[in-house]
A and B are shown apart, each in its own frame.
Chain A
Amino acid sequence: MTNSIPMPGKHIVIAKDALQTLFSTLQAANYTLVGPTVREEAIVYEEIGQMDDLPVGWTDEQGPGTYRLEEAGDGRYFNYVVGPHSWKKFLYPPKLTLFSAQQNGDGVEFTANKESPQYAFIGVRGCELAAIAIQDRIFLEGQVTDPHYKKRRERAFILAVNCTQPGETCFCVSMQTGPKVKNGFDLSLTELDESFLLEIGSELGGEMLADCDWRPAGSYELNQSRQLMLDAEMRMGRSLDTADLPEILLDNLDHPRWDEVAERCLSCMNCTLVCPTCFCSDVQDVSDLTGGKTERVRVWDSCFNPDFSHVHGGNLRPNIRARYRQWLTHKLASWEAQFGTLGCVGCGRCITWCPVGIDLTEEAAAIRGGQS
């Protein structure tokens, strides 16, 4: 084992408990660690302190409308499927003060929120990296950039994880976002039986390993990792045929399937809120009683919120059918015209966390199958 700085592109091996050294180095560099941990019968993303906070020995069983945390007892750290949270919770927080307004006499003064946390994301899957890249297009790559997203994004350290545990509602292979992470990480990790295989994605990633004992990966580890990825690819719970999908959906805006899904859909917004790419927001004023000081707060919104489509004189999407159609045609069709990619990464959250288990792969297939 050596103790120096590995270069980008290099594959190295560390003992499992050496991950703690990396965590400590990140903390010493002022990163707030956020990563998977067990809470409320699920694996969620939260601030963590050390390696023990990871869901060691835990896994989960998922299906449409159902998620169950299970003890695997295998001592593995990353042997679970993505859960109810996504990284957008940190990059694009559910509630964020944009600025405050202070009334003084006849005038008013606006003060921007300059808060700028520095996160290290632990355990980002391929589908999730793809989701972050999609939100980058929205918040960073248009004419206007969102300063809050930008600061968080630029400062974030990403430890990605190659997914060896796809779930029943996963279809990243269809969306070409996983199970192996491709790029956009500082370090990527594959959990092997005895050790972690790490790929160095950036200089910063290498530097953070300065205190770790590591050795170059051998063909044993590389082959094992390759095999794990092949196995994962074969175990996708679902698939989505994306060929000509935008045209098919937009040509079928009056398809009877919209009525059928509206019978089941609760318009509860869960799909959009767990989706790692959904970005719709509202802005609310929170004032003190006298109205002298106001905070302007951005909150996650959803196209399933009845208030979302209000204009003077009525609601443009007055029923669940119109709202579901908006969600699906946006995610799988008009998103492409807007941002050059579909809005779906195949993580399956919207299927698992829909209380009544509506499956967008099934809905898209039904419209494809019965084109009018």
Chain B
Amino acid sequence: MSPGHKPRLAVFKFASCDGCQLSLLDCEDELLAIAGAVEIAYFAEASRRMLEGPYDVTLVEGSVTTDEEIEKIKEARRESRFLVSIGACAISGGIQALRNWTDVNEYIHTVYATPKYIDTLAKSHPISDYVPVDFELRGCPISKSQLLELVTSLLIGRKPRVPEYSVCMECKWRGTVCVMVAQGIPCLGPATQAGCNALCPAYNRGCYGCFGPVETPNPLSLGEHFVELGQSRAEVSRAFRSFNGYLPAFREASEQFEDS
């Protein structure tokens, strides 16, 4: 960022639950510091003030599911110097990408009284299917600390640091006892990128894979272990096919267990 000019921040929303934007609002103590360090030019969820581009940093939440959104993301890209996808929807297509394995028209007819009003793409797409993305911040929702790391690093002028290791590291740092080994609870932690501070295992649950696959995952070995723990292959398939189910490593694993 050039000195003497506050970087202009924009936040755009696509198909999503707004949870990731809420993480930004949830920064509370740090929010004032952020507001002091950047000019919030466009953030519909937080402010009625909507300034035109160009923007220095644009955070994009949500997946692309309509033709209209395709145009909107291209426009956002043109107006943005540094574009960051935030959250599982923007990065993988989100939980709504479950429809990518089915016929969307069937869903529309089941859900809506007047299906003809619905205009949608056949699949739920990550942002990177349509425009180049400079950085991806994983999570469902994203983690507050990683969001702050993103903003801080952009202000300082270095690359944001996010972990490449699995959730297991965070369990061990916290001293959480492995729920899979000590209780036989299936846990996606060993295949999932850290970032949540190992929240679920600390509350006696297996990891749901909110931050998507690690850099070099071994989901097939992990899935086979879930079977040894008593899950059916269909259950294993469904475990991989959740918030980040359409990211390649989880997608392939879910398909492998579905077909076998």
Say yes or no for B105: interface residue by CB 8 A criterion.
Answer: no
A contacts with B, residue count (CB < 8 A): 47
User: Which chain B residues (4-53) contact chain A, with CB distance < 8 Å?
Assistant: 30, 33-34, 37
Bin chain B's interface residue count: 35 or more
Say yes or no for A250: interface residue by CB 8 A criterion.
Answer: no
**Closest residue of chain A to B219, judged by CB?**
A266
State which of B56-64, B158-166, B250-258 sits at the interface with chain A: B158-166
Contact for A265 among B37, B175, B218, CB less than 8 A:
B218
Identify whether the interface residues of B are mostly helix, strand, loop, or mixed: helix
Quote the shortest CB–CB distance from A18 to chain B (angstroms): 30
**Closest residue of chain B to A65, judged by CB?**
B181
Say yes or no for B76: interface residue by CB 8 A criterion.
Answer: no
**Is A273's CB under 8 angstroms from B172's CB?**
yes
Contact for A85 among B166, B175, B183, CB less than 8 A:
B175
| A355-B221 Cα distance, complex, nearest whole Å | 10
| A284-B165 Cα distance, complex, nearest whole Å | 14
Contact for B164 among A67, A300, A306, CB less than 8 A:
A306
Number of A-B residue pairs having CB atoms within 8 Å of each other in the complex? 127
| A176-B9 Cα distance, complex, nearest whole Å | 62
State which of B84-92, B94-102, B117-125, B184-192 sits at the interface with chain A: B184-192
**Is B216's CB under 8 angstroms from A306's CB?**
yes
User: Which chain B residues (133-155) contact chain A, with CB distance < 8 Å?
Assistant: 148, 151-152, 155
Chain B residues with CB under 8 A of A290:
33, 37, 155
| A107-B160 Cα distance, complex, nearest whole Å | 24
**Closest residue of chain B to A265, judged by CB?**
B218
Say yes or no for A105: interface residue by CB 8 A criterion.
Answer: no
Given A268-B189, A305-B164: A356 and B222 interface contact (C-beta under 8 Å): yes
| A44-B174 Cα distance, complex, nearest whole Å | 12
Say yes or no for B111: interface residue by CB 8 A criterion.
Answer: no
**Is A89's CB under 8 angstroms from B175's CB?**
yes
Contact for B216 among A274, A299, A319, CB less than 8 A:
A319
Given A287-B156, A307-B164: A355 and B190 interface contact (C-beta under 8 Å): yes
Chain A residues with CB under 8 A of B155:
289-291
Contact for B148 among A39, A67, A266, A289, CB less than 8 A:
A289
Say yes or no for B178: interface residue by CB 8 A criterion.
Answer: yes
**Is B221's CB under 8 angstroms from A265's CB?**
yes
Interface 0/1 of B174-209, CB less than 8 Å to A: 111111111110010111000000000000100000
Say yes or no for A68: interface residue by CB 8 A criterion.
Answer: yes
| A83-B180 Cα distance, complex, nearest whole Å | 14
**Is B176's CB under 8 angstroms from A40's CB?**
yes
**Is A270's CB under 8 angstroms from B152's CB?**
no
Say yes or no for B215: interface residue by CB 8 A criterion.
Answer: yes
Interface 0/1 of B219-231, CB less than 8 Å to A: 0011001000000
Known: A44-B177, A66-B181, A306-B164. 11 other contacts (CB 8 A): A42-B177, A69-B182, A263-B221, A266-B166, A267-B217, A269-B169, A270-B181, A270-B190, A289-B148, A304-B165, A355-B181
Q: Which 3 A-B pairs have the closest CB atoms?
A: A268-B190, A273-B172, A40-B177
